[in-house]
Structure 1
């Protein structure tokens, strides 16, 4: 017969062995490392609303960045939210991204929406926000604790180039319909300051069913051209009214109305030989590589606005986070301030120049403690004290019914 004390000892030993075996099973084997949690980066792009036509192509730019970064040894995930071309929708989405713990956010498009998101969500919450498309000059002077950046050039450049182009085309009097937000107001003000002729500028609200009153005011007395400083949804309505009512037959466009879908819906032949401006970079190794990689991934050449800027913004946040983690070691606190502090380190000279085709080298250099200088698709992406970049403006035209570059890239 087994004594009771011996029996208890036997049970205890057996239980301890079992626990030990379970514990051993739960640990990685020798040489096996636990997989690190992925780096999550949010996007706040427009899939609905006045700018809804731009969201999906821009998302493709972000997804290409994810693929190339992961091929380079990082573990990155994009978390996508709809900005809706609406301040409330975008702010709610930004709060959800913050709650998910993203390292930074790429967005939004509308300058008014980006301003609202920055001031009400990302700045108070300490999250880096990099807009690939918001061009209003007013963004440069927001009190942002160095958390707000852009990968696209300010309209301080576009308005100047557009004004000089209107002079060059011989226009003496132009009408402007501009969206009543910081983007439209800022762009028309800078255009007016740089155009030598007469301007009839009329603001409008977004996505109305008719703009006949605004069209009438902007073209009163006749104009040489009507400039559409808006977004595709609303511009499509008032350009149609201007054409059908005989108010104007010559137009100029900007980045917000650089939309092939919009022109097609209005009859692209109506705009043959007309001009527009938008942020854009001249041919470069970085741009050529991006176009090749994009076509290989999505089966088409990238032609929509702000694709390169979206790609650049995503990569800049990822590389800045990687640098923050490396420089801080095990105790790294890579919150918004930490990522923001590294943004210029990875984007500005000095450092080894890297681009879309050599992100693996960029990651390796960062992990080796070396400086890098990211050369983006949309330009050099040298970030100034305001979080702005000093890239160029492209002059584009409509040829054969299609938007086409004139291969003129200018700065004020």
Structure 2
């Protein structure tokens, strides 16, 4: 009898395993390139959300989610398109978390996602152009547009009494959009932008660019660049020549690799990056600490990556389908909940609870790690952490 019961249990287990349907989700981020120091934690944040969903056992139709990683390079559109095509055509992913940097995101959206009807949710592509780009309802982001960050940067500068800045930006979709937003907002507040100059990533020497910036003058140098590429090079050249001693650092420049590379010369520099003071953020950080010893959940865009993965999974559950044409219609629904506020608030660690509620026909309002609220076009409203570098650390000033 005991052997029969054991055999029955094994048979049931095998039947359950056989009935499970693997749902592949692609994560397309810059393992190489100008944000390579922050991408690993973004990947891990997606893993954390997927494991949470799988461990709950509440996904519809026996779905088991899998994260397939690919390298966007952040800056090489051809490489990003090739990686995305492989995810879609060879691997059969049902959606893409990413891409990361704005230029490659726009390229993948146009050349891969739209032709193949694939949903993309980016945790970090912030170009304002993505708000108005044609997307057939397939593109969303869990981070806010640089149009909003430009206003925040202008507020940070003027609140500190700054009246003139020199502005340099990465010669990329991200850099151009960020610089335009900062310049417009700062000028609207009465500030003066002495120069707006692009810099190319990947150069060994930025002395000529810094000489032009110094000649134009300005109380501080605002660097709308990449933390592991040209932005860092510009700052190093400015420090080496004594051209500037205080730097304004928007989101793409936030990362420990910068303070480690530049050292004490960054003392007193400041800026902001997309971050969260949501109720669920401390919960997310506790989960991150327990998930993997090497995982730093606080790094730039990691919380947004967790939220992006959760939104995709919950939208599939709400649609009862992994077909992007179907579940894309549910992303705003699970992100915002009913207009009357009756949706059950979902914090980090509650993805399984959310799956169960959806299955029971109960509306949810996904708050997640960043207090997610989405606008009609698929943009997140977002919050920003203002910081200042003190003793080599990125110290919080306030949230805006």
Fold similarity call, TM over 0.5: yes
Measure, in 2, the Cα distance between the counterparts of 1:319 and 1:163: 36
CA spacing shift, 1:335–1:51, aligned 2, 3 Å: same
The 5 Å alignment of 1:169-248 reads: 169-195=160-186, 196-199=190-193, 200-232=195-227, 233-248=229-244
Do the aligned residues in 2 keep the contact of 1:353 with 1:373 (CA within 8 Å)?
yes
Bigger drift between 351-360 and 115-124 goes to 351-360
1:342, distance to aligned residue in structure 2 (A):
1.4
The 5 Å alignment of 1:184-333 reads: 184-195=175-186, 196-199=190-193, 200-232=195-227, 233-267=229-263, 269-284=264-279, 286-299=280-293, 301-325=296-320
What stretches of structure 1 of length at least 5 have no aligned partner?
Answer: 1-27, 326-331
1:221, distance to aligned residue in structure 2 (A):
4.1
Counterpart selection for 1:384 from 360, 364, 375: 375
Measure, in 2, the Cα distance between the counterparts of 1:177 and 1:113: 21
Measure, in 2, the Cα distance between the counterparts of 1:212 and 1:273: 23
Report the 3-state secondary structure (helix = DSSP H, G, I; strand = E; otherwise coil) of the residue aligned with 1:175: strand
1:109, distance to aligned residue in structure 2 (A):
1.5
2:69 pairs with 1:80:
yes
Report the 3-state secondary structure (helix = DSSP H, G, I; strand = E; otherwise coil) of the residue aligned with 1:227: strand
Do the aligned residues in 1 keep the contact of 2:231 with 2:253 (CA within 8 Å)?
yes
1:132, distance to aligned residue in structure 2 (A):
0.2
Measure, in 1, the Cα distance between the counterparts of 2:307 and 2:268: 31
Match of 1:132 in 2: 123
1:180, distance to aligned residue in structure 2 (A):
1.6
The alignment's C-alpha RMSD in Å is 1.7
* Equivalenced residues, count: 372
Do the aligned residues in 2 keep the contact of 1:354 with 1:373 (CA within 8 Å)?
yes
Measure, in 2, the Cα distance between the counterparts of 1:93 and 1:316: 23
Match of 1:337 in 2: 325
1:81, distance to aligned residue in structure 2 (A):
0.5
Counterpart selection for 2:83 from 80, 85, 93: 93
Do the aligned residues in 1 keep the contact of 2:312 with 2:331 (CA within 8 Å)?
yes
CA spacing shift, 1:29–1:244, aligned 2, 3 Å: closer
Per the normalisation by structure 1, the TM-score is 0.87
Bigger drift between 36-45 and 300-309 goes to 300-309
1:224, distance to aligned residue in structure 2 (A):
0.8
What do the CA deviations read for 1:367-402 (whole angstroms, capped 9, x no partner)? Answer: 1122111112122x2222211011112111112211
1:283, distance to aligned residue in structure 2 (A):
4.3
2:334 pairs with 1:346:
yes
What stretches of structure 2 of length at least 5 have no aligned partner?
Answer: 1-10
What do the CA deviations read for 1:240-268 (whole angstroms, capped 9, x no partner)? Answer: 1111112111111011000111221111x
Report the 3-state secondary structure (helix = DSSP H, G, I; strand = E; otherwise coil) of the residue aligned with 1:53: coil
Per the normalisation by structure 2, the TM-score is 0.89
Do the aligned residues in 1 keep the contact of 2:267 with 2:392 (CA within 8 Å)?
yes
